[in-house]
Amino acid sequence: MALSYPLPMSLYAAYSGNLDARLMSRRAPHSPLRATGWLNGWRLSFGGEHMGWEGALATLVEDPDAQVFVALYDIAPLDEDSMDRWVGVGLNIYRRARIRVHTLDGQEPAWTYVLNAYEGGLPSARYLGEIADAAESAGAPHDYVMELRKRPC
């Protein structure tokens, strides 16, 4: 699902630490939060343990029986390059993928980052805690946040 540049879409779906709007305001200061929603048919997973500093990195994996809570941001063109650098697109750690987000207003086409590595490995407790905190700050349902907090690390 790799995309070529430039992307015609401007909506970015965050599913891990970037769920936190305060953090995103520093990483992409020209890109406001638009909405939250769900990626149906995907699940949050971890992989590329050898690529991270402290365990496996967050990614998305297709799964027809799962869903992932996301925050949608209107990414300004001048924030796209900095976002790509932040997640390591140029280092071949992540790549962009097209997805459909289900919001209260219907389906929205967007892009997100997926890991360029095989699924498997455990995240650090700190990293998993950051993801759970970010999901909570974005308004994810309590049971979703608790499921994140109970994951093995």
Q: Is residue 1 part of a domain?
A: no
User: pLDDT at residue 125 above 60?
Assistant: yes
Is residue 68 within 8 A of residue 43, CB to CB? The reply is yes
* pTM of the complete model beyond 0.95: no
CA-closest candidate to residue 123, choices 59, 65, 42, 43: 59
Average pLDDT on 33-43 reads 96
* Structural domain harbouring 56: 11-149
User: pLDDT at residue 8 above 80?
Assistant: no
CA-closest candidate to residue 114, choices 27, 51, 65: 51
CATH classification of the domain holding 43: 3.10.490.10
Is residue 30 within 8 A of residue 77, CB to CB? The reply is no
d(CA 97, CA 140): 22
Q: Is residue 5 part of a domain?
A: no
Q: Is residue 3 part of a domain?
A: no
Q: Is residue 6 part of a domain?
A: no
What is the total count of domains within the chain? 1
Q: 10 Å Cβ neighbour count for 85?
A: 12
pLDDT in tens, 70-83: 999 999 988 999 99
Residue 1 binned pLDDT confidence (cut-offs 50, 70, 90): very low
